[in-house]
């Protein structure tokens, strides 16, 4: 089978969609002819990457042309819709779209406040392009049912939606022999919508009860300085590690007692970092929002506010039986539902059903 993926960006450009497409294409290339069309990227064994010249708008590169590549199935990845739009104009074969998240412009981007009218214009413009794409494609993949049902766009197309989750590399993230410490871990970008401020405020309460509790933050971003200042103001013990190599992140996953994903934005539609922790046999706590909660309950707990988060962190840090139960539950869920072996086969089966 000849498969063509389109994605705005592809590694070495870093991001959730990029990593998703990289792993999916790698697994499928063992059995099929796979090509990637993207604004960035380099070919690797079994996967050819084609990079047409683009207008490089932030987060939404627009291709000036599109390679004349024939396929049995085209698989586009959005929210950035312009590569998928090129497929829609030229295709002769089935076209699937994986809808990773809604477009929602934060109030602050790269430290700059975005005028509300500007944000609304971007959101409406994206909607105007994306709705016809979702209407004309053959199938839409959503990563969770709760996100699809609550999405202003996806909820209009439930009759053509297949729910297939994101996945995790179970070779990179797996249980280890490292001794657990009283560590609360956050891994991700330090930007406004990720909700790290919520976690810092909750940790003040946690550390009042448990002096030995440590917060370790891995990642970098525009809000790092502001969050470092806030942690000192709150008198919270926290270690900002910055960006770390993959192998170091995996070690911290094994060492931590619990991982927290505090995002409260629809830009956070799934939370792959939750799967990475679960694959490492580490319990998780995620915000009670569509998408994230579907994953978090597979190997942990959800929270609704700062006090609730603090209470649940303390519970996991002090209750060995609960921590062990959540650890086993999450590991079982990863092996049965969220490994790339399982997820790639589900997507492959969907391809065959269309062609």
Cβ distance 87 to 6 under 8 Å?
Answer: yes
CA distance 105 to 206: 32
Torsion angle defined by CA atoms of residues 120, 125, 127 and 131, in that order, rounded to the nearest 10 degrees: 170
Domain match, 192 and 325 both: yes
Q: Which domain holds residue 102?
A: 2-167+339-354
Q: What pTM does this model have?
A: 0.91
Contacts of 239 (CB under 8 A, 6+ apart): 214, 215, 216, 217
Domain match, 189 and 282 both: yes
Q: How many domains does the chain have?
A: 2
Give strand pairing partners of 63.
54
Q: In which band, very low, low, confident or very high, does the pLDDT at 331 lie, cut at 50, 70 and 90?
A: very high
Q: In which band, very low, low, confident or very high, does the pLDDT at 229 lie, cut at 50, 70 and 90?
A: very high
Q: In which band, very low, low, confident or very high, does the pLDDT at 144 lie, cut at 50, 70 and 90?
A: very high
Contacts of 251 (CB under 8 A, 6+ apart): 176, 178
Contacts of 102 (CB under 8 A, 6+ apart): 79, 151, 152, 153, 154, 266, 267, 269
- What share of the chain in percent tops pLDDT 90? 80
What's the confidence (pLDDT) of residue 307?
Answer: 97
Domain match, 61 and 161 both: yes
Domain match, 82 and 194 both: no
Domain match, 51 and 157 both: yes
Domain match, 298 and 190 both: yes
Domain match, 191 and 161 both: no
CATH code, domain with 298:
3.40.50.2000
Say whether pLDDT at 91 is over 90.
Answer: no
Domain match, 7 and 152 both: yes
Q: Assess if residue 200 is contained within a domain.
A: yes
Say whether pLDDT at 111 is over 80.
Answer: no
Q: Report the chain's mean pLDDT, rounded to a whole number.
A: 92
Domain match, 134 and 199 both: no
What's the confidence (pLDDT) of residue 158?
Answer: 95
Domain match, 29 and 161 both: yes
Domain match, 60 and 130 both: yes
Longest CA span, the chain: 63
Domain match, 350 and 231 both: no
What's the confidence (pLDDT) of residue 127?
Answer: 87
More confident residue, 127 or 199: 199
Q: Assess if residue 172 is contained within a domain.
A: no
What's the confidence (pLDDT) of residue 119?
Answer: 59
Q: Assess if residue 267 is contained within a domain.
A: yes
């Amino acid at each position: 089978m000849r498969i063509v993926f389109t994605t705005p960006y592809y590694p070495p450009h870093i991001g959730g969609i990029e990593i998703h497409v990289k792993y999916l294409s790698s697994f499928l290339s063992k059995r099929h002819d796979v090509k990637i069309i993207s604004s960035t990227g380099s070919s690797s064994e079994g996967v050819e990457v084609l990079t047409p010249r683009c207008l490089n708008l932030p987060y939404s590169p627009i291709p000036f042309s599109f390679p004349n590549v024939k396929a049995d199935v085209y698989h586009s990845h959005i929210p950035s819709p312009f590569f998928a739009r090129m497929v829609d104009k030229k295709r002769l074969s089935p076209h699937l779209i994986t809808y990773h998240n809604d477009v929602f412009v934060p109030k602050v981007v790269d430290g700059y406040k975005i005028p509300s009218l500007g944000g609304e214009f971007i959101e409406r413009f994206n909607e105007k392009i994306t709705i016809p794409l979702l209407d004309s494609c053959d199938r839409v993949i959503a990563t969770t049912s709760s996100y699809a049902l609550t999405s202003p766009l996806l909820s209009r197309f439930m009759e053509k939606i297949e729910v297939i989750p994101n996945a995790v590399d179970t070779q990179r993230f797996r249980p280890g022999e490292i001794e657990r410490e009283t560590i609360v871990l956050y891994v991700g970008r330090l930007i406004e919508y990720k909700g790290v401020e919520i976690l810092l405020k909750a940790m003040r309460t946690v550390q009042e009860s448990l002096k030995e509790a440590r917060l370790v933050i891995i990642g970098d971003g525009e809000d790092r300085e502001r969050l470092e200042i806030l942690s000192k103001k709150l008198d919270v013990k926290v270690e900002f590690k910055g960006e770390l190599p993959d192998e170091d992140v995996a070690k911290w996953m094994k060492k931590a007692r619990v991982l927290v994903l505090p995002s409260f934005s629809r830009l956070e539609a799934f939370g792959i970092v939750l799967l990475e922790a679960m694959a490492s046999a580490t319990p998780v706590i995620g915000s009670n929002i569509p998408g994230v909660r579907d994953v978090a309950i597979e190997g942990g707990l959800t929270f609704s506010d700062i006090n609730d988060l603090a209470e649940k962190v303390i519970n996991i840090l002090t209750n060995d039986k609960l921590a062990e139960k959540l650890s086993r539950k999450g590991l079982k869920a990863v092996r049965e539902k969220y490994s790339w072996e399982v997820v790639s086969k589900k997507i492959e089966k969907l391809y065959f059903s269309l062609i």
